[in-house]
Amino acid sequence: MKVTVIGLGYVGSVAAAGLAAAGHDVVGVDIDRARVKAFTAGRVPIYEPDLGKIVAEGMASRHLLFRHADEFVGSAGDVVLVATGTPPTPTGAADLDQVRAAIAWVKTAQPRGCVIAVKSTVPPGTGRRLKETLLRHNSFQYVSNPEFLREGQAVHDWFHPDRIVIGGSAPAAVEAVRSLYSGIKAPVVVTDTSSAEMIKYAANAFLATRISLINEIAALCDRLGASIDDVVSGIGLDPRIGRHFLRAGVGYGGSCFPKDVRAFDQLALNNAYSFELLRAVITVNNRQRLLPIYALRERFASLSNLDVAVLGASFKPNTDDVRESPALDAVPLLVDEGARVRIYDPVAGEQARTRLPGSVEITGTLVECVRGTQAILLLTEWSEFLEADWEGLANLVAEPRFLFDGRNALDPSKMLTLGYEYCGIGRGNHRLTGALATPRAAVP
Ligand code: UDX
């Protein structure tokens, strides 16, 4: 099948290369010249494991090519996938300008009509409205086809999805989208466009709720001397609960959860409904992101001239995406309070630069980052940090070797034995108010 994919971000580029791998003839289109140039030259301009490999294979097999939107010639094909961004407006609602522009482009590039399958995350009801407005009186069929790709695992998720969701009213259009995925084994949920759009928002809201719920329970664990690790083991064995998305930490970030959860809240308000639970999820997440600074304020009388190492800049490991990264929230506050901050990330250092105060030093190695600092904040659980020689590093770090593990990624007793003042989240040794509790492992 001939397919055009509009928008070469994390979702669009993976979709384009994934469809090419299945033998479809795919053109990836974008309005960003530098991005199109990079893909055309075989350079993937984003860090996404395995994407470079499938892009190269797609180009070598001639099933995949890239074009700037202004230079596109010929037919856009039977199905056009829209994977443009839906950034937040100042109110938090989803800005649909890029989606509308993509649809306008399709109408010009493919005047005879085609199936327009929207992967971009849009508020429920968007497809119905677009059909009544932009796509009225013509031969375009609108289908909602939300994506559930996790950054860092997007290529794997493309080929092994949990489900494929297709929302549309025209059976032929639904079948055309279904056939794009004919080589992939996964349950297919066919529904109307609004329900398909709602599935995406509901999934993000549900997962974000789990994270905020476990973070609330972790806060109580700290106050009551319980262990969040054991609590999760205990509740996770209940098949009605499971262990997924119950990792306490400095909160969720990234290009999806924060934006989509806020947009869902705004959508509810626009429809005369106050989504109280979702508001609490957002409030808890905002608080979690400040835990590193609360912990430092509790431990040190003043942050002025304190040397702090921040480990991690991306919103999670295996991506260079720093959008809404909890790791970067704390840094400007630390700088404001007079701390001298260094930061190290295995891949996202450069991406972080524009988000950081000028005084922050971005180091090229973990060792340079921690050397001589009194406090370490581990905020992204890159495997490089998990596997680091913490014993060797302890010799480079100055007293009191305060180690805030914002992702509960390290072994507390090992870190205490190595001489760090270890502080995790919900591991019974951290309080948000009052002095830090005595580390559990040190209690006789
Ligand atoms: C998410 C959805 O998982 C995906 O289906 C959707 O298409 C896009 O949004 P992504 O943003 O790539 O994917 O990251 P994800 O792995 O879901 O993590 C989101 C954030 O939640 C990260 O900051 C992560 O650190 C945090 N998180 C995740 C927790 O704090 N605790 C958890 O238990 C899980």
- In this predicted model, what pLDDT tens digit does every residue of 296-330 receive, in sequence order? 999 999 999 999 999 999 999 999 999 999 999 89
> What confidence score (pLDDT) does residue 73 get?
82
Q: What is the pTM of this model?
A: 0.94
Task: Specify the residue with its C-alpha closest to ligand 1, atom 24.
Answer: 252
- Tens of pLDDT, residues 13-64: 999 999 999 999 999 999 999 999 999 999 999 999 999 999 999 999 999 9
> What confidence score (pLDDT) does residue 72 get?
86
Q: Angle of helix 10-21 relative to helix 51-60, nearest 10 degrees?
A: 50
408-415 CB contacts, 8 Å cutoff, 24+ apart: 408/228, 408/229, 408/247, 408/248, 408/249, 409/378, 409/381, 409/385, 410/378, 410/385, 410/386, 412/439, 412/440, 412/441, 413/441, 414/390, 415/390
> What confidence score (pLDDT) does residue 215 get?
97
The pick from 48, 206, 257 for probing ligand 1's pocket by mutation, whose C-beta has the most ligand atoms within 8 angstroms, reads: 257
Atom of ligand 1 at shortest distance to CA of 211? 31
> What confidence score (pLDDT) does residue 75 get?
85
Give percent of the chain with pLDDT exceeding 90: 91
Catalytic-residue membership of 423: no
Contact 303/334 with Cβ under 8 angstroms? Answer: yes
Q: Tell me how far the alpha carbon of residue 336 lies from the centroid of ligand 1, in angstroms.
A: 29
How far, in Å, are 255, 321, 365, 372, 374 from residue 328 at the CA level? 14, 11, 18, 21, 19
Average pLDDT value for residue range 385-389: 98
Task: Specify the residue with its C-alpha closest to ligand 1, atom 16.
Answer: 150
Q: Is the CB of 156 under 6 A from ligand 1?
A: no
Average pLDDT value for residue range 83-87: 95
